[in-house]
Every structure is written in structure tokens, then in C-alpha cells.
Chain A
Amino acid sequence: MPAIAPASPVRSPVKRLAGKLQSVIGLAGIVILAILLSPTTPDGANVFLQLGNLTDILRQISVIGIIALAMTFVILTAGIDLSVGSTLALSTSVMALCLTAWHPAVGMVGHILLSAFAAALVCGAIGLVNGAVISVAGIQPFIVTLATMIGVRGLAKWMTGNANIDIGFGTDDAAVFAAFAREKATVIATFAILACLFWLCLSKTVFGRYVRAIGDNEQAGLYTGLPVRRIKAYVYTLCGLLAGVSGILYTGENHQGNPNAGVGYELDAIAAVVVGGTSLSGGKGSISGTIVGTLILGVLTNMLRLKNVDSNVEMMLKAAIIVIAVALQRTRWRRDT
């Protein structure tokens, strides 16, 4: 029984701020590298810095980025959600099915909104199931969401007969929705709005404080009278919901409902969260960090694509970046303290 444990070293406020800005410095580094290595167009402009390219990057990271926002909350509670990729697939399937096969007696806008609502509702329900089983039955999040990942994928494929549901280019409700949802502005705006909401929630609300507290020390949270089970159920529901929102955008971008979509997206989202400084053991992390982490991986991918680096090499480099980013964030690097 440790009677007296040594206190961890006190860091001055300046050092603490530098620690928090570490991921931003990393992002700045990658951006500079990308600018230096960027090809130039025939008329001499730096390709990477073109506004079109920069907004491309923002669009390309949005789907994973939105999921990563909610994944931050889940990981902050020392949990994990492996089912988001499958949930996204379910969302695209429901959205596309509702848009193409269901014709309620409401106007076009109503049809689109109802379809989106249906997709989001179904995915939120999946998240709630995850959260309920994890918080009430006390089964490890890894196991529960692994099971959901498999089951929901099966559900999506069964619902669609394992076929994609294409959205055409005509004037029907589905096509109008797709044209709107694939606009860069729509996608980036959705990501930005959700990012602001989640940032506010984590840093300024009681709920956000409780999420961090429970991840830091669930036992102490119980002793303090925090509603531990409810908070856990909520964070997983949020994760499902945001996977649903991402799926809706995905449907527009890809002009189809795809029950095989999103494979591996959970790992991309987790990578973004972790590179951004959130610890997998819970309690430490931030939304701003996740956004930076998402940007780092997005800029890196873009930089490598502009250099036409082989996609397999790209994967290896990404893996190296993830490990290095996490290693650099450890507050205790030396054995001797």
C-alpha cells in the first residue's frame, strides 16, 4: 500500500501551454513541408497553396473529421467505438433508400429532411444500443462495439440486398439532395458547425467536464455522485449520431447508398483523435486537438498525393506519423524523474 507517492513534476504555465500547442506546431511543420514539396502548375503557382486545393483538403477530411469529433468524447471516457464505419454504411443505405424508394406525400425539402432524419435516428439508435450495453451490462467497449461493427454491417447489406443504391443526375429529390450535399461549402460548413458545437460542449459545459472526469477516474466519479452510466450512454449515442451525419454527407458526395462503405473509418477517426493529443486511457484530450490531428493527417495525405507517392508507401508513412505523434506527446520521456 503506497503511503506516499512522489508528486509529478510541476511545469510552469509557459511549459504547459507549449505542451498543448505541440500538435499545432506539428501541423505547422507538416504544412510547411507540404508547401516546400508541392509541385507547381505550368504557370508557376504553388499547387498546394491554391485555394481550391486547400478547400479540397477540408472537404476530404470532413467525413472522418465529423466522426472524430464524437470519437473524442468516447475516448475521453476511456472507451472506444469500433462500429462507426459500419454505422456510416447503414446511414448511407437508409438515406439512399429513403430518397429513392420511399415517396411520402411531402414536398421535396420535406422528403430530403425526413430521409436525413431517418438516417440520423437509426444511427443514433445504434449508438444508444452501444452505450446502454456498455454502461448497464458493464461489458468492455471494445467488445461491444466490435460486435455492433459486425452486426450493423450485416444489417446494412441485408437491407440493400448487398447492392449499391445509385442516385441519378435527374431532377428527382435524390439528385437534388446529392447536388447540394456534395458542394464543398455544404460539407465544410457541416464539419465546422459541428466542430464548434462539440468544442463548446467539451470545454464549457457540465457534461463535458463530467466526460473528462469519468475518463480520468471512473471510480472516483462514482464516489462523487456523477451520473456515470448516463454520461457513457450519451457519448456512444453521440458517436452513432455523428456517424449518421457523416453518412448522409457521404451519400451526397458519392451519389450512392453503399452498404460496404466506411471500412476502416473507425481506425482513421481514432488515429485523428490520438494524433491530436487525446489519450486512449481517458481523461486527457480536447476537440481542438482532434481537429488539428485530423488536419495533420489530411495535409499529409494531400502532400503525398501531390507527389504521387505510391498509396502503399502513403499508408506506411501515415503509420509512422501516428506513432511518432503519440510518442512526442508523452509527458515523461526519460526514465529518471
Chain B
Amino acid sequence: MTRRQALRTFAMGMAGGLYGCRASTAGRRFIAFSQCNNSEPYRAAQNSLLRKLVIQHSDLRLVIADAQQDNSIQIAQIETFLRQKPDLLIVAPNEQAPLTAIMGDAMAAGIHVICLERDILKPNYTSYIRCDNRGIGRMAGAAIVEHLKSKNGTPRGNVVQLHGLLGVEAEANRNDGAMEVLRGAPDIKVVHEAVANWIQAEAKDRMTEILRAESQIDVVYGHNDPMAVGAYLAARELGREKDMFFIGVDGLGGSAGGIKKVIDGILNATFIYPLCVDRALDVGLRVLAEPGFTPEKAYTMPSMMITPQNAAQVYNQVTL
């Protein structure tokens, strides 16, 4: 094959393939969702819930862009969305500072923007659907106090914290909320903290190091379920998991989610971290349907603690 023939074949192949990807867009309303990272379980669950909800409306077209945890990519993807003039733009910002300006550009272009779960530096959105991470933190702190009280008679014991990405608001608040409560119990000590960036494998490594350093650990508070599970696995390898109380956050349904882990006895407790996309879609569609409707600047989604007592019941409710 000569050079020219190869070039022509490739060009036609590309054109054909991409042309085939064209979906019929006539008359449908375009919802653009800029997701910061498809590969986290929480975000994957957000995506599938949103898809499931959108399918129920025949006049909606949903496109989800994956920024792969890169701010520059997310900015570029939103820019590209703006060019296509979507009816609704939902953004789950990767980080606060980088995404603020571009979402301001979107607002300035007259597009309705819903900010999902993570906050940005300025209110450059129509509405912000948030979760009360601080509240979750407080609930976690209370759960820790409760457990230690029942285990040792008084609120006394050693706690290990596993942190997610430090720049993220959820992380800060899940930490601060818990510390708020724990400060009231001076005999409960946070003996060790490590950063595992929300990732199970990293948490397992960090926990292994911590287990070697600390001989007495009562509670492990992982700021998300994968990290708590990773810590459990590390402890089990050293045969120490029975002595510890594992708390996570997220409480996703499905066989890989935190609720199942509670059912299986791997985690002792977790907290539902709402997916938020259902409220986001509601608000967004209402804004589009009713021109006079002004949504709240922020909606807070409620959370709930999952324990072995209610796990099975909630699992059936929540699993898609």
C-alpha cells in the first residue's frame, strides 16, 4: 500500500466511524455533565443514577465528560460544552480554584449551571447541591464516642484517621466535623493520620505502616469507604481486625458499595453520602420548565448512618 492510499483509507475510516456516532439531536434538550473523575465508585454511581433518571424523559439528551481528575482537561471540556450551547450544565468540580472562573464564564453566557457536591470559590452557579460533610463528620465523631463508651466503659481509646485528597472540601469537613465532637472527649486520642487520596490500595499501604507503628488501635475512621476497606484488609493480614471498629463514608449501594460491606461485617458503620444528581436534575428541569422559578442558592442533602441493624433494609432501597 502506498503512502497516499494509507492516508485515504484512514481518513475515510475515521470519518465513517465518527459519522456513525452522530446521534439525532433534533428537538431534544441537551444536558451537559462535566464529571471530574469517572473512575471513583461514588462518581460512577452518580453517573449511572443520572443516566437512569434522564432515560425516563424522552426529550432529554445527556452527555457526560470525564475530566480524569485533571483541572485543565475539565476546563477545556466545559469550554467545549459551552460552544454547543447546552440547555443545562451540571459540574462536579475537580478542585475549587481552577473551576471557579470557567463556571463564571458559563453563567455569563446565559447557561444554567448546577454545581454538584463540591464547592467553588465564588457562587458562579444557578444552584449548588451540597451534602453536609460537616454533619457527617459530626455523626462519625459521635459514633466513635458511642462505640468507645460501650467498649471501654468510658469514652477512651485510640483512633486512626485516613484522609482523602487534602484540597477537597469534603475531606476538610469530614475531618473537622469529627474533630469537633472528639475534642469534647479528651481521652480519645487520634494517634495516627495518613493521606490515602480516597484510594483503597493506598489506604491499605498506609494502614500497614500504621499497624507497625501503633500497637493499640480501637477505631479506624476512613473518610471514604474504599479507604476504610483498605485499612480493614491491612489489619486482617496482620490478624488484628477483630480489635478494631471501622467507619467509612459514602454508603453506596450495589455489591461493591459500603452498605454491602457493613452487611458482610467488613465495615462496622458507614454514612450515606448522597449522590446529589437526583436533586440536581430536579432543580435543573424545573428551572427550564418554569421561567419564573428561582431555585435556592444551595440545597443540602440529608445523610444517614448505616449500621448492621439497618444495612440490609437500606441496601434494597438504594441499590439500582
Contacts and interface: CB of A to CB of B under 8 A. Distances in A.
Direct A–B contact present (CB less than 8 angstroms): yes
Interface of A: 29, 33, 36-37, 39, 41-42, 47, 50, 52-53, 56, 60, 63, 162-164, 166-169, 178, 182, 250, 253-256, 258, 301-303, 305-311, 317, 324, 327-328, 333
B63 A253 contact: no
Interface in B70-115: 71-73, 75-77, 79-80, 83-85, 95-98, 100-101
B72 A254 contact: yes
A37 B72 CA distance: 24
A179 B188 CA distance: 46
Interface string B49-72: 000000000000001011010011
Interface in B1-15: 2-3, 6-7, 10-11, 14-15
A223 to B, nearest CB: 36
A256 to B, nearest CB: 4
Contact of B97 (A164, A309, A310): A164
Contact of A305 (B21, B71, B76, B96): B76
Given A163-B166, A169-B122, A305-B76, A37 B98 contact: no
B18 interface: yes
B25 interface: yes
B35 to A, nearest CB: 10
Given A169-B122, A305-B65, A305-B77, A42 B85 contact: yes
B83 A50 contact: yes
Closest 7 CB pairs of A and B: A166-B97, A254-B98, A255-B97, A305-B80, A256-B97, A308-B63, A53-B83
B249 to A, nearest CB: 21
B19 interface: yes
Interface in B149-187: 166-167
A186 to B, nearest CB: 13
B84 A47 contact: yes
Contact of B167 (A33, A52, A163, A310): A163
Nearest to A166: B97
A317 B13 CA distance: 12
B121 interface: yes
A33 B11 contact: yes
B8 to A, nearest CB: 10
B3 A41 contact: no
Contacts, number: 101
A258 B19 CA distance: 39
Interface residues of B, number: 39
Given A162-B166, A254-B72, A302 B80 contact: yes
B3 A307 contact: no
Contacts of A255: 97-98, 100-101, 121
Nearest to A39: B84
A56 B97 contact: no
> For A36, A50, A166, A182, which residue has the most chain B Cβ atoms within 10 angstroms?
A166
A56 B95 contact: no
Contacts of A324: 6-7, 10
Nearest to B79: A56
Contacts of B21: 307, 309
B11 A164 contact: no
Nearest to B87: A42
9 contacts: A29-B7, A56-B79, A56-B80, A162-B166, A163-B166, A169-B101, A256-B98, A305-B65, A311-B73
Contacts of B98: 253-256
Nearest to A317: B14
A62 B76 CA distance: 12
B167 A164 contact: yes
Contact of B18 (A37, A250, A302, A311): A37
Given A56-B80, A328-B3, A39 B25 contact: yes
Contact of B121 (A53, A168, A182): A168
A281 to B, nearest CB: 20
B71 A306 contact: no
Nearest to A256: B97
Given A47-B83, A56-B80, A254-B71, A308 B65 contact: yes
